[in-house]
């Protein structure tokens, strides 16, 4: 089992956060700009961390069960609510899941 490095999971939000700063720096690189809006950096990062052991593609029910049974974290209710509104289908990975749930906008 991999060791969790809590300092790598963002706990602040918005462009002024450490994650926001890194994204802004990457956006400044010529030819590397990607338009992505994240609803909650810490929530999406925590979701990705929770789902690291899930074998994708995975059905909505399995993903939702993992999140509901996890420990409490910031924005858990908001993320659980967004996931519960998803179509009942299999998702190919965290990117597919977060985009479909409206947590990340491209």
Q: What is the pLDDT of residues 37-68, one digit of tens each?
A: 555 667 778 888 888 888 999 999 999 999 99
- Is residue 35 scored above 80 in pLDDT? no
Q: Which two tokens stand for residue 5?
A: 């490095």
pLDDT of residue 37: 55
- pLDDT one-digit tens code per residue, 65-91: 999 998 888 788 888 998 999 999 999
- Segments making up each domain of the chain, as ranges: 13-105
pLDDT of residue 33: 47
Q: Which residue has the higher pLDDT, 42 or 4?
A: 42
Closest CA to 45 of 91, 16, 12, 71: 12
**Rg for the chain (alpha carbons), in Å?**
14
pLDDT of residue 42: 72
pTM score of the predicted model:
0.62
- Is residue 103 scored above 90 in pLDDT? no
How far does CA 70 lie from the centroid of its chain?
A: 14
């Amino acid at each position: 089992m991999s060791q969790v490095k809590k300092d790598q999971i963002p706990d602040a939000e918005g462009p002024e956060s450490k994650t926001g700063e890194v994204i802004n720096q990457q956006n400044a690189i010529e030819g590397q700009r990607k338009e992505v809006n994240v609803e909650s950096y810490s929530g999406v990062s925590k979701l990705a961390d929770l789902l690291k052991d899930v074998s994708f593609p995975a059905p909505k029910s399995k993903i939702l069960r993992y999140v509901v049974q996890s420990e409490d974290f910031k924005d858990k209710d908001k993320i659980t609510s967004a996931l519960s509104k998803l179509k009942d289908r299999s998702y190919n990975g965290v990117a597919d899941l977060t985009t479909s749930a409206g947590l990340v906008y491209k």
